[in-house]
Structure formats: C-alpha cells, structure tokens
Chains A and B, each alone.
Chain A
C-alpha cells in the first residue's frame, strides 16, 4: 500500500495514543467530579454516562423554567397509578396527620417530619412544568418545602453523594445526586394550585424534581436516605427505574 506514508503512520499513531490517553484521563476526571451515573454499565452505559456528564457540566446550577400564573394548565393530567395500599388508605382517612417523612443515612440528626413539621421548616411556591417521558406535559403551581432546607435541618455529612427517596408504595423509589438534592427548585411538595396536593398528583407528599422527567418525581414519599453510594440499594442501579429498563438520569 503505497498510500501509507511514514508521515501518515506517525500522525495516526500519535492520534491513537492521544485518543487512548484522553479517554483514560477523561474517565479519571469524570469519576473525580461525580459524572458517572449509577447505571453506567451495560450496552447503553456510554450514552447514559455522556448524557449525565454533559448535562451535569451544563446544568449544575441552572433553574428550571418557571411560568406566569396565566399558563397554569386548566386540565392537568394525573397519570394512572396503581390502587392505593391499605396503609395509604388508612393514613388518608386520618387526613394524613400521621404521615411521616423519615430522614436517615449520612446525616447528623436523623429525624422524622410530619406534614406540619415540613410546613414549619420553609415554604416555596413555583410554577413549573411536569414533562412525562411519553411526551405529554402540564404546568401547575407547586407549593412545598425545598429539600435543601430539610437536609440543612438534619445536617448532611460531607461524604454524601446521593439522596435516595422511597414511596409508601413498596417498589417505587429513586435517587438524585447532590446537585439536584441541593437545588432550590427540588421541592418536597404538599400543595398544588393553592390547595393540598391531591393523591392523584402524588399527595400528600411528592418529591418534585423539575429539571428531570416526571418519573423522577416519586409520589407518596415517606423516607429519604442520604448516602455516598447507590450500590447497596436494590440492584445498585440508582433507582427502581433502571430495574424496569428506564434510565436513572432523566434530565433528558
């Protein structure tokens, strides 16, 4: 092959070496700055890792779009949910006064919050859009207590990397990284459009993560766990979503 000159060979060799070296450096930097998602393994791992890493670099502090009151959807859609458990129905019949949010894991003061306790911590109201991975959406006003305020209340330890959150409905749980957990719009939501949050929309307590798709906003939250690794939760993929085939990171 007369086409292959010495110069071509050298440049190709240099380019290949530079490529391999930058991949290795990239992987180290990514691990160092927390750009590797819990579901980074498997055939779709590269795409998921690129999505998460790129978006974390771009969106660490960015705010989800908020809308004027006039854009609140007249007919929001409460997605279909499984029939509530007996435990939920019992708490509902009591007006949710016995609803508790347990906060544990890597925190200085593990605790348990009633809805009244949460309302006493702080209040934030925001008009944001719910976007389902299926394609539909609606806008509502969400009223709640920013997760960051609750985390400050219990005091997170420095090694914290994720906050896992669990629904009263057994197999429904998820987690977010600290960028989303400490984000001012990540809301432990108990009100919607000037009223209580209806059960169809996740009431009495839903963790709304407006920079990610709807399925990250788990309904009926009863427990938060602060942790340094998602390996010990479920199959270690970060949430119940990847166990059902869906990506852990849902900012896209």
Chain B
C-alpha cells in the first residue's frame, strides 16, 4: 500500500506515478491522433453510412471545407496540400502509444485498486441523488469537499468511467475496423457497425465526444485552479494542506 505513504508529508499525495505518466502519454498521443486524423479527414470530408460510400453516392453529412484532393466536389476552388502520408504514419504510431499506454494503465489500475478506489463510484454515491447533489454544487459554485483533495466526486468518476471504458475503447475499435487486413481476420469487428463507412463515421463522431470531454476537463481544471491541478498531475502532490480552508 505504498500509495498511502506520503500523506504525512507537507504535501498531500494526489496522483500516483503510473497515473501521471500514463496521463501525459495519453495527452501526447491523443493530440497527435487528433491533428493527423483531421488531416486525413480533409482528403475526403464526406461521411457515409453502411458498407460503401464515395463521391458518386449520397453522403450522410458533409463538412463544408475545401478538400486536399481534387476528386472531391467541395464547391471550393481551393485544394489543401496533401499531408496524408506522414499523417497516416504518425496516426498509427500514436495509436500504438495510446493503446499500449491504455493497456498499462488499465491492467495496473485493475490490480492496484485505482479503479475501485478512485474511478468506480463509492457504494454510497451510486444514486441519482448523489449525482444531482454534486451537479447542484457545481452550479452553485460551492467549494469542493475536503475529500476531493485526494479523490474524485461521483460526477467526475462517471465522466472518467465513460471516457476510459466507453469512448476510448470505441474509438480504438472503430479505428481498427477501418483496416482491411484487420477486418479480414475479424469481420465481425466491422460488420457489427453495419459496414466500414459506418465505422468511419462513428470513429469521427466519437472523436468529437472525446474532444468535448477534453474541453470540459480543461475548463474544470481552470475552475479548480489551473496551476495547482497541473502541479498535481506533474509532481503528484496537491496543494499544501495549510493552503486549504
């Protein structure tokens, strides 16, 4: 139980080394995936549903931006430069970092009790009432509980649960489903979405859900005190106890 040890020191332990390292590796790979993913999207900013889709078929929706290929009818006279080559190389390299980081984080959090202690809602909090109370506190702008100095409230836990166990697995799965070779070995992985174009569209939409999480996440950090939260995620230590009311 080494994670409990530093409490007696002048500063409160907030995040374990494992959480901090995997957090920043995730930040790094997510940013690389986001930029290169958007770069790949602009070569064909049209989205379809079902197995197939191309410029001769009706899109589900279109993003009204110029494309990086002349074959896409965007209505713009402008073409972005083609950056798909390095974008694809980097996208898959960053995906490896994300997946391996996720595996290390997931396995160890299961084994060391991080999920049980800090991510799954504590038994008394598994009610709508507890959830609503936290939301109401946020809306009133009330200060955080003392317990939140070293762990998460139920709303934070639900958000992290969603990101860790739903959104990231889904974005990885829909990404793999775009690989023709992966689909040859595991056809169900793409067929379950109703086809490869559906998987591509979902891959894009889930990305925006992750970006939405990121925006809220950073905004909440800003509200909680940007530098103190950054310090906690970098050095592992929260604010000094004497700073607290």
Contacts and interface: CB of A to CB of B under 8 A. Distances in A.
A34 B212 CA distance: 42
A129 B184 contact: no
Nearest to A251: B181
Contacts of B86: 44, 245
Contact of A65 (B55, B93, B183): B183
Interface string A223-252: 000000000000000000000111100011
Interface residues of A, number: 42
Given A44-B90, A252-B92, A212 B180 contact: yes
Given A76-B54, A129-B51, A245-B86, A134 B44 contact: yes
A137 B182 contact: no
B184 A64 contact: yes
Given A47-B92, A80-B70, A129-B52, A135 B200 contact: yes
Given A47-B90, A58-B185, A77-B54, A213 B85 contact: no
Nearest to B42: A134
A152 interface: no
A76 B52 CA distance: 10
Interface in B115-132: none
A63 B56 contact: no
A80 B72 CA distance: 10
B185 A137 contact: no
Contact of A77 (B40, B55, B84): B55
Interface in A47-83: 47-48, 50-51, 55, 58-59, 62-65, 67, 71, 73, 75-77, 79-80
Given A55-B181, A252-B181, A136 B55 contact: yes
Interface string A204-217: 00000011110000
A132 B84 CA distance: 12
Interface string A113-138: 00000000000000001011111111
Contacts, number: 131
Contact of B85 (A79, A246, A251): A246
Contacts of A135: 40-41, 43-44, 46, 200
B197 interface: yes
A129 B196 contact: yes
Nearest to A60: B185
Contacts of A156: none
Main secondary structure of the interface of A (DSSP, over half): loop
Determine chain B's interface SS by DSSP, over half rule. Answer: helix
A246 B187 contact: no
A59 B40 CA distance: 25
Contact of A137 (B5, B69, B93, B196): B196
Interface string B173-195: 00000111111110100110000
A106 interface: no
A133 B91 CA distance: 13
A55 B179 contact: yes
A77 B95 CA distance: 30
A133 B53 contact: no
17 contacts: A58-B181, A58-B185, A59-B184, A59-B185, A65-B183, A71-B52, A76-B56, A77-B71, A80-B70, A134-B43, A134-B44, A135-B43, A135-B200, A137-B52, A246-B85, A247-B89, A252-B178
7 closest A-B pairs by beta carbon, nearest first, are: A47-B93, A245-B85, A251-B181, A75-B56, A44-B89, A136-B54, A77-B54
Given A135-B44, A138-B54, 19 more contacts: A46-B93, A47-B94, A59-B184, A73-B52, A73-B57, A75-B54, A75-B56, A76-B54, A76-B56, A131-B180, A131-B196, A132-B54, A135-B43, A136-B53, A136-B55, A137-B52, A137-B54, A212-B181, A251-B181
Interface of B: 5, 40-41, 43-44, 46, 51-57, 69-71, 84-86, 88-90, 92-96, 178-185, 187, 190-191, 196-197, 200
Interface of A: 3, 44, 46-48, 50-51, 55, 58-59, 62-65, 67, 71, 73, 75-77, 79-80, 129, 131-139, 210-213, 244-247, 251-252
